[in-house]
Chain A
């Protein structure tokens, strides 16, 4: 069995998860990445997506996060999510609503920069939707 390390998922409202895990898959801003024990110190922003953690007793935890950032250090991995919801509470309708909101943001955007950002969020959310639909 792989070595375990401490993983924490925190949202502004509360500490969602604090577990010993063997691996975590995070949706980094520049692509998904996996973290195992002894990963070199690493700091990345995250795009909307799914955080998957495999605990050392075989449980998996899946959370939908809406952006945030991940801090991988020697003492463990911490994900500071802007918003995090357990995958079990996520359904297609919820995602459709999120996409709709994001699209409205894009439509309302006043500058090119904010529109680009909003468009990016829309496309990222669509990816998540596809992944959820496939699962």
Chain B
């Protein structure tokens, strides 16, 4: 049994930890609001981009001269996984759930005999994947020290992906990130970037008549060629913003839990501290009384 002094030290240390987790939770809550606003503000752009591209894509579908970014290279041999995670830990299962999804995907592809290349965005993803997939990781990007992530910061990532595609370094590109649903729920998501996938396509097909009337300036083809690369940059940007919001949300709930656990622990420790103190007093009394009786 730990001595009274030990217990006292334990209680003090748990209390100190609780203070830290409480502070982290509050910081995360403040950051979350900003990150959430940014993520939500970026949604209209990405959404509209999707609709417009969906319209365009329906038009050129099945044509031989359609841009490769949309139709793919015709092969499925080399897969590029773009894994977006946080720069910091202490945010519950946030990083590990994204990494888990990416790992499952990578293992599945490897089992099928495909080549896998990985680019990690964020330090934690690299740390988690380097042991298993060291030879597959071709690049790690860190977005450290950026307070507010702006479009131009993430553009470089998009450009890297495009450059690799032009050089025919991969056939299929998939983006991994956590979609922000709410503070308590972030959904790890895999999204295929190349060849581009548009949800709007089916819907558009039904409204085919409307689509046929579209005029394009310069040409349909030229527009697609400028839009598709930009779409990739935008998708990455919005994924990173979603990620930032998810990270703060995950950290907030993780720290809330930690604070509560610390509180419980303090209660338990205090209880056993008091019990022991009483037991000691009783013991001393017995000693005194039995000593007096012996006289």
Q: How many A-B residue pairs have CB under 8 A?
A: 75
Q: Which of B45, B223, B237 has the most CB of A within 10 A?
A: B45
Nearest A residue to B238, CB-CB: A12
Give me the interface of B with A, judged by CB distance under 8 Å.
Answer: 38, 41-42, 44-46, 48-49, 52, 55-56, 150-151, 210, 213-218, 222-223, 226-227, 230, 234, 237-238
Known contacts A12-B234, A15-B41, A71-B48, A28 near B210 by CB under 8 Å: no
Closest A residue to B46 by beta carbon equals A12
A74 touches B210 (CB 8 A): yes
For the complex, would chain A's binding face be called helix, strand, loop or mixed by DSSP majority?
A: strand
A28-B217 Cα distance, complex, nearest whole Å = 8
Check A112 for interface membership: any CB of B closer than 8 A. no
The smallest beta-carbon distance between A121 and chain B, in angstroms, is 13
Instruction: Tell me the bound Cα distance from A69 to B151 in angstroms.
Output: 16
Question: Interface size of A by Cβ–Cβ distance < 8 Å?
Answer: 24
Specify which chain A residues have a CB less than 8 angstroms from the CB of B238 in the assembled complex.
12
Q: Would A41 and B217 be within 8 Å (CB), given that A10-B44, A80-B48, A80-B49 are in contact?
A: no
| Docked complex Cα distance between A134 and B190 (Å) | 51
| Contact call A78/B48, Cβ cutoff below 8 A | yes
* CB within 8 Å for A69 and B226 given contacts A13-B38, A13-B41: yes
Determine how close the nearest CB of chain A comes to the CB of B220; give it in whole angstroms: 8
Which residues does chain B contribute within 8 Å of A42, judged by CB atoms? 214-217
Shortest distance from the beta carbon of A61 to any chain B beta carbon, whole Å: 17
